[in-house]
A and B are shown apart, each in its own frame.
Chain A
Amino acid sequence: MGATGEPVISMRGIRAELGSRPVLRGIDLTVRHGEVVALLGANGSGKSTAVRSVIGQVPVSAGQIELFGTPRHRFRDWARVGYVPQRTTAAGGVPATVTEVVSSGRLSRARFGMLRKADHAAVRRALEVVGMADRAKDSVNALSGGQHQRVLIARALASEPDLLIMDEPMAGVDLASQEVLAGTLRDQVASGTTVLLVLHELGPLEPLIDRAVVLRDGCVTHDGPPPKAVGQHALPGHDHVHPHAAHDAEPIRTGLLS
């Protein structure tokens, strides 16, 4: 745990190429302790690439990334990070139960892959938080789209992380499940978890978001209060006062880069 305001994610001048094509062209992004930051932008604007560079899945060609104040290549404390990749399914090529999938998320806290009683309890709690405890023994193949997302989020929560990184957790999720996920997130934020989430639209999560960062073609075009409606008001310099922006440290304006 760090003090409020301490940077948890810090990206400075991040560039990344995928297949020789520049996808990130100098991204600056800071997420401070206790903040909920939404990463917005059109399809293909580089949102997933940006979060995947934070977790080391995408090699960066320039710039610095720090997690909890440690340069990413030296960062080892992965139990503090919960990650929800952009997926439509939690299933693999072989049947697996909801519990089996969510238990994978606890490995970062387990030694030599051995799960103890406390680990199983944490997995159970994570399932309760997303409202999937009654499906614990069911195969993930038998779940709906929204339930898949809930399983993926429970897997990220199983390590009891300080930082949650979620890539489009609301994609293909019906409204009922969206409300459950919003409730889950609200509880996490209330208990001090820092959140970076990629979203297509703010939806029911809107009241939770402290700050929005908008990407376009691999550049940050807006960093500040969340726009009311993405697309219409997502332009840099748009003056929209958000009721939730006040309580936080003043937004970090990095502006247009590259």
Chain B
Amino acid sequence: MDFLDYAFMQRALLAAVLVGITAPAIGIYLVQRRQALMGDGIGHVAMTGVGLGFLLSWSPVWMATIVSILGAVLMELIRWFGRTRGDIALAMLFYGGMAGGVMFINLAPTGSNANLTSYLFGSLSTVSESDVTAICVLAAFVVLVTLGLRRQLFAVSQDEEFARVTGLPVRALNLLTAITAAVTVTVAMRVVGLLLVSALMVVPVAAAQQLTRSFAATFAVAVAIGVAVTLGGTITSYYQDVPPGATIVLLTIGAFVVLTALAAPLARRRARALATAHPAGDPAECAIPATRAAGDEVGV
């Protein structure tokens, strides 16, 4: 465990754990609402923020946070208003964001494509003290939202139309989801990079689903997978001199493959257990109880 003696490694590991928690925590809601690639889009838009940060000699992390939040809000607005050509508008936003990033960083006196690369694919060894502070603050926000509002976000992501009839502020919750996803992108940017961040939002959730039946369990398993692969990838990259972002993403996909292979026999066992619990023609399937207690009534 000699890597713990280095300050840069301590910072890297802390950042990695926070990314391992936050990316699947918001990613699960994106997957639930079938917007799995939203994180990827925000990652592209965030590049403009990084470029602007260099151009204006501002913190690229904070600048990327601001720009990706603006981009996420714009994406939500396009979803509300742009009925017909929404996909085209989104494509322009994504590629405009990427082109803007490349343009700004080349205009910046201190910037070069090498700087940009460290944001595109992550660069844990260059995570600074102030980066860690920013990552901690942003990660706390993401955890607060994804856990504190889990019932509301679950309802809106499961069935938006129904959620509206329960009186939930659907638009505000959609905006909050988009903003939280944008914040997560910038949290993860230094660790796995903007181009790979979406993988960490989506793949741990997909892997967890192979084993779970409930949303709560999927959430917990996805976060556990996220933390395991970010720590594993960071430590591997210390010993093997491989890029951490790519290592983390490949480990995540490996976890998905392993869990999928494990899931088939598990599902068979479950089906057998279910068959014993509810044998064919079980009256519990369609019978109306002959008597009904007063406490059973739902109504006025």
* A interface residues with partner B (beta carbon < 8 Å): 1, 19, 52, 55-57, 76, 78-79, 81, 83, 85, 87, 90, 92-97, 100-101, 103-105, 107-108, 110, 113-115, 122, 125-126, 128-129, 131, 134, 137-139, 142, 155, 157-160, 162, 176-177, 179-180, 183, 187-188, 191-193
Query: Is the Cβ of A97 less than 8 Å from the Cβ of B214?
Result: yes
Tell me the minimal C-beta distance from A97 to chain B in angstroms.
4
Query: Is the Cβ of B215 less than 8 Å from the Cβ of A96?
Result: yes
> Quick one: which of A19, A155, A187 contacts B297, CB cutoff 8 A?
A187
Nearest B residue to A77 via CB reads B167
Per-residue contact bits, chain B 72-98, to A (CB 8 Å; 1 contact, 0 not) = 000000000001100000000000000
- Beyond A55-B165, A78-B167, A131-B288, is A93–B299 a contact (Cβ under 8 Å)? no
Tell me the minimal C-beta distance from B292 to chain A in angstroms.
7
Tell me the minimal C-beta distance from B62 to chain A in angstroms.
30
B34 within 8 A of A: yes
- Beyond A94-B31, A107-B151, A129-B296, is A81–B165 a contact (Cβ under 8 Å)? yes
B216 within 8 A of A: yes
Which residues in B have their C-beta under 8 angstroms from that of A83?
Answer: 161-162, 165
Q: How far is the CA of A160 from the CA of B297 in the complex (A)?
A: 9
Which residues in A have their C-beta under 8 angstroms from that of B166?
Answer: 78-79, 104-105, 107-108, 159
Which residues in B have their C-beta under 8 angstroms from that of A113?
Answer: 149-152
> Quick one: which of B165, B213, B287 contacts A95, CB cutoff 8 A?
B213
> Quick one: which of B162, B298, B300 contacts A104, CB cutoff 8 A?
B162
Q: A55-B165, A100-B154, A162-B300 are in contact. List 12 more A-B contacts (CB 8 A).
A: A1-B300, A55-B164, A57-B161, A85-B162, A95-B209, A96-B215, A113-B152, A125-B298, A131-B284, A139-B214, A159-B166, A187-B292
Nearest B residue to A114 via CB reads B151
Q: How far is the CA of A92 from the CA of B218 in the complex (A)?
A: 13
Nearest A residue to B214 via CB reads A97
Query: Is the Cβ of B215 less than 8 Å from the Cβ of A93?
Result: no
> Quick one: which of A85, A93, A96 contacts B214, CB cutoff 8 A?
A96
Query: Is the Cβ of A104 less than 8 Å from the Cβ of B151?
Result: yes
Which residues in B have their C-beta under 8 angstroms from that of A56?
Answer: 164
> Quick one: which of A95, A138, A159 contacts B218, CB cutoff 8 A?
A95
Sort A-B residue pairs by CB-CB distance and give the 4 closest, nearest first. Answer: A191-B299, A78-B167, A176-B286, A139-B213
Which B260-300 residues sit within 8 Å CB-CB of chain A? 278, 284-289, 292, 295-300
B157 within 8 A of A: yes
Which residues in A have their C-beta under 8 angstroms from that of B205?
Answer: 94
B67 within 8 A of A: no
- Beyond A93-B33, A94-B209, A94-B218, is A129–B298 a contact (Cβ under 8 Å)? yes
Query: Is the Cβ of B162 less than 8 Å from the Cβ of A155?
Result: yes
Which residues in A have their C-beta under 8 angstroms from that of B161?
Answer: 52, 55, 57, 83, 85
Tell me the minimal C-beta distance from A192 to chain B in angstroms.
5
Size of the B side of the interface (Cβ < 8 Å), in residues, is 48
Interface centre among A1, A92, A158, A177 (most CB of B within 10 A): A92
Tell me the minimal C-beta distance from A99 to chain B in angstroms.
8
Q: How far is the CA of A95 from the CA of B207 in the complex (A)?
A: 12
Which B100-127 residues sit within 8 Å CB-CB of chain A? none
Which B27-50 residues sit within 8 Å CB-CB of chain A? 28, 31-34, 36
Query: Is the Cβ of B300 less than 8 Å from the Cβ of A160?
Result: yes
Per-residue contact bits, chain B 141-174, to A (CB 8 Å; 1 contact, 0 not) = 0000000011110110111011111111000000
User: Could you list 21 examples of A-B contacts with CB < 8 Å?
Assistant: A1-B300, A19-B84, A55-B164, A79-B166, A92-B158, A94-B218, A95-B209, A96-B154, A97-B214, A100-B154, A104-B154, A104-B155, A104-B158, A107-B151, A113-B149, A125-B295, A139-B213, A155-B162, A157-B299, A179-B286, A191-B297
B128 within 8 A of A: no
Q: How far is the CA of A160 from the CA of B296 in the complex (A)?
A: 12
- Beyond A160-B298, A187-B297, is A104–B33 a contact (Cβ under 8 Å)? no
Q: How far is the CA of A224 from the CA of B150 in the complex (A)?
A: 45
B212 within 8 A of A: yes
Q: How far is the CA of A95 from the CA of B149 in the complex (A)?
A: 18
Q: How far is the CA of A176 from the CA of B298 in the complex (A)?
A: 22
Query: Is the Cβ of A92 less than 8 Å from the Cβ of B164?
Result: no
Interface centre among B32, B151, B165, B297 (most CB of A within 10 A): B165
Q: How far is the CA of A79 from the CA of B167 in the complex (A)?
A: 8
Which residues in B have their C-beta under 8 angstroms from that of A157?
Answer: 298-299
Q: How far is the CA of A183 from the CA of B296 in the complex (A)?
A: 13
Query: Is the Cβ of A193 less than 8 Å from the Cβ of B300?
Result: yes
Which residues in A have their C-beta under 8 angstroms from that of B216?
Answer: 100
